[in-house]
């Protein structure tokens, strides 16, 4: 029967009659990349774009991310969408800290990325001042397609990340630079 459903491509492997061999890293990466659970930290206009990304037209479910989690412990992709006031910074950081490894962060829109048009004393000039960011989505606001592109970039990171990366000195140094132990 003809169908439009596309399957996710499998990892690079050695195939033969009755067998397929690949590395554990690639297998785990494939599973992680296609089951990212988002935690939307939406504070303003960009949050509306994220709602549209979740809805039927753009359908984030196609990427295995249809289950937004408002519990950090059950999420592995933090999406910060909107203006983050300096007073709110510690809350964003607390949410990040409560997420288990491996975790990824997307800064959605100009405000989360750099403070955007709000170059003022009260607005955080980018969330990377308080937590490490993996992907930046530009725009004010970015379109849902751009947010999807950001999620796909995180998928690529998850797919290709070594299982040991989170235990490396480099990663520890990165966290330490944010005063995260």
Binding residues (CB under 6 A) for ligand SF4: these are 44-46, 82-83, 109-111, 116, 140-141
CB of 43 to ligand SF4, least distance (A): 7
Rank residues 26 and 129 by Cβ distance to ligand SF4 and give the closer one: 129
92 neighbors 80 (Cβ within 8 angstroms): yes
Least Cβ distance, residue 116 to ligand SF4 (angstroms): 4
Tell the smallest beta-carbon distance from residue 115 to ligand SF4 (Å).
9
* Residue 171 burial (10 A CB sphere; 0-12, 13-18, 19+): middle
Looking at the Cβ atoms of 65 and 83, the one nearer to ligand SF4 is 83
3-class DSSP state of 140: coil
**Which of 33/46 has CB closer to ligand SF4?**
46
């Amino acid at each position: 029967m003809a169908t439009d459903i596309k399957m996710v491509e499998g990892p690079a492997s050695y195939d033969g009659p009755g067998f397929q061999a690949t590395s554990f890293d690639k297998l785990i990466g494939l599973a992680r990349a296609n089951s990212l659970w988002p935690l939307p930290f939406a504070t303003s206009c960009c949050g509306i774009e994220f709602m549209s990304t979740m809805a039927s037209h753009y359908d984030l479910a196609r990427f295995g991310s249809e289950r937004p989690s408002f519990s950090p412990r059950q999420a592995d992709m933090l999406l910060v969408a909107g203006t983050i006031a300096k007073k709110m910074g510690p809350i964003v950081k607390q949410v990040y800290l409560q997420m288990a490894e491996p975790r990824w962060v997307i800064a959605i829109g100009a405000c989360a990325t750099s403070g955007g048009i709000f170059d003022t004393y009260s607005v955080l000039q980018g969330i990377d001042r308080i937590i490490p960011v993996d992907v930046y989505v530009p725009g004010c606001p970015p379109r849902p397609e751009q947010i999807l592109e950001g999620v796909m970039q995180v998928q690529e990171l998850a797919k290709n990340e070594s299982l040991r990366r989170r235990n490396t000195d480099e990663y520890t140094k990165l966290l330490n630079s944010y005063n995260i132990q």
